[in-house]
Amino acid sequence: MAITKTDFINYTKCPRYMALAEIKKERLEADVFYDDYKESEKQEQIQELLGSMFELNEAEEEVDLVDKINRQLEAMLKYYNQVEIEAGRIVKNMFPGKTVFAEETHNQECFDFNRNGIKYMCYVDVYNECEDKINIIEVKATTSKKYVELLGNYPKCEKYSIFQEINNIHYLKDELDGYDIEAEMPLEKYTELREKLFDRYGIGGYIYDLAVQRFIIEGEYKQSNNQEQLKNIKYYLAVLNCDYIFDGTYEGGKPVYNQDSDGNEIITFFDMTKVTEEFQKIILNDADNLEKNIRELNPSPCKLGKWCGYKKQNCCKFFTPICGAHIPKKNSSLSYIHNGFGFKDLDGNRIKGLDLINEGYIDMLDIPEAWITNEAHRIQRDCLSFDTVHLDKEKLAMGLKQLQYPIYHLDFETFPCPMPRYKGEWPYIQSPFEFSLHIEHAPGVCDKDKDNYVFLATSHKDEREELVKKLVEWINPDKGTLFAQNVAFEKGRIKELAKIFPEYKEPLMKMYDRGFDLLWLVNTKSSFYEELGFDKTRAKLFNFYDKRLSGSFSIKKTLPVFSDLSYDNLVVKNGTEAIVEYANYPYMSKEEFDLKYKALEIYCKQDTWAMVVILDELRKLVK
């Protein structure tokens, strides 16, 4: 049996993953179930599990509920591949000798070894060999920000990173000869921050990946009696440089990522040689557990935890259809708002997150009354228990009075590309390609069509300045209110555009200063309402709550409470689909482009019209 690095990472998440993967594999490849599960007493369980993995759609076609196609990932794949190509290019410039890298995995350097009858194997993103030294580089399409911002300090003093950058390589400061860490922060704080690198389900996830690679590489060298070589191998994590600003150089229509004006490369490196060495005890233990799980192949339920990736992009593919299927989609125990710290039981023990589900506290009302000590949680619970609606009419009315007309209901659609595409951009900038604007001239005076203005890029050429010109043309920066759901996002894009296009900075920053959030009205903003004279306790409680919100004030949850307006009948239904359609512009026929272009306009228009509708309904509540 062969286990790849990816298999290793997945199979060691929990004891159940391997068994579920094998059941599904056999279902796809044969008409019989996995032989090891042929015992009659397990047949019912397997039938149930398979039923959770597949379903029939309206056309009676079988739909795979586990390995769903991630359309956004597919659309962004060429940019992710470019990260590896740029990393390989920079490695060739930084390190002498032979460098091997390729877009196709099978063309990369490969290592493998056998352990207890299992073949472990991995491919190396970038392999560099110089004389007797080897550099192993694992490339990840994340940014350096999460690592360099592991910051510590003494009280009321400047903060310092636990990493020091030297010639585009970041080193842990305890590995640098003579570095005086205690001049910057207490050694205990440094150690605490460094320990975060070993959390495989947090910031240490990519480092764990590299450590598994080291486990396999060392396994090959040891098995070939070449252990002396192990002393000369360095392990690096290569990521996008969060400080890099693209200078706008193109060749043949494609970006050329030269050093920026501050000397930054698009890719930067972290020396994880020592950390991955320290990781090996954990990896060996995980390998033992993996081999045990392979032998037992037990599909029985096990505890849920952070390894499930609940509500994260890397959520386990079996979580939604199988392991977490019993968690209600609405008003579960996880729906209590701002509840990262969970609840304290009567003995003072804190239970939070998926541990609530493990302990049998599944529905919102399963949480014992005595545990509810937060007034916001009390409001949520009462609205569900007694089917009532919470409304602080006075606070809401006072908030509404602060709005100045005209109200500019604004929504951006953005492209979060790993690689900066246009001059002045940086990795993962939320680059706007569309906005919708509804102008409300007086309370309730806004026509869905006549008062709507949409800008949408027609290609992947740089159309940002045209977008800015339309913003400045359609929004009067000297009066009114810039209004959005989660206005911080729209303000963030406006501020970035003001930086990139300084000639428009004055009107853009005036818009920025007039920002107002729909959430301040439906939910709350403590500082805003304290300034209006409300005490701290009342200021931090939401103004409106209905059980249908299920702990979320997103516009997709809020809109159905106030209106019959729906996204279900739209061709483009959400932001992810908008990103995909824009990303696929170059691959569309003329007919498909015309259809999807119109669909993008309609979708973005719906977002701003939804804000108009919700705001009008809020006004009615205080009359």
Q: For residue range 61-119, what is the model confidence (pLDDT) as tens digits?
A: 545 555 666 788 888 888 999 999 999 999 999 999 999 987 666 678 899 999 999 99
Residue 383, CA atoms < 13 Å, CB-side half-sphere = 21
Cβ neighbors of 251 (< 8 A, separation 6 or more) are none
Q: What angle do CA 517, 518, 519 make, to 5 degrees?
A: 85
Q: For residue range 177-189, what is the model confidence (pLDDT) as tens digits?
A: 999 999 999 999 9
The span from the CA of 487 to the CA of 517, in Å, is 5
Residue 358 sits at φ, ψ, to 5 deg, of -60, -35
Going by C-alpha positions, the residue among 158, 149, 165 that lies closest to residue 184 is 158
Q: For residue range 378-431, what is the model confidence (pLDDT) as tens digits?
A: 999 999 999 999 999 999 999 999 999 999 999 999 999 999 999 999 999 999
The span from the CA of 306 to the CA of 315, in Å, is 9
pLDDT band for 174, please (50, 70, 90 cuts): very high
Question: What are the structural domains, with CATH classification, of the chain?
Answer: 2-68 (no CATH), 72-288 (no CATH), 326-388 (no CATH), 393-622 (3.30.420)
Q: What percent of the chain has pLDDT over 90?
A: 83
Q: For residue range 304-321, what is the model confidence (pLDDT) as tens digits?
A: 999 999 988 889 999 999
Do residues 354 and 518 lie in contact, with contact meaning Cβ atoms separated by under 8 Å? no
Residue 67, CA distances (Å) to 9, 80, 138 in order = 17, 20, 25
Residue 181, pLDDT score: 98
Residue 104, pLDDT score: 67
Instruction: Tell me which amino acid residue 446 is.
Output: C
Residue 34, pLDDT score: 43
Which of the given ranges, 46-50, 104-108, 226-230, 241-245, has the highest pLDDT on average? 241-245
**Window from 12-26, 117-131, 345-359 with minimum mean pLDDT:** 12-26
pLDDT band for 229, please (50, 70, 90 cuts): confident
Q: What is the 3-state secondary structure (H, E, C) of 347-389?
A: CCCEECCHHHHHCCCCEHHHCCHHHCCCHHHHHHHHHHHCCCC
**Window from 139-143, 229-233, 266-270 with minimum mean pLDDT:** 229-233
Q: Is the pLDDT of residue 361 over 90?
A: yes
Concatenating the DSSP letter of every residue in 477-493 gives TTSSEEEETTHHHHHHH
Do residues 92 and 135 lie in contact, with contact meaning Cβ atoms separated by under 8 Å? no
The span from the CA of 139 to the CA of 82, in Å, is 11
Instruction: Tell me which amino acid residue 192 is.
Output: E
Residue 494: exposed, middle, or buried by beta-carbon count in 10 A (0-12, 13-18, 19+)?
buried
Residue 102, pLDDT score: 75
Residue 27, pLDDT score: 57
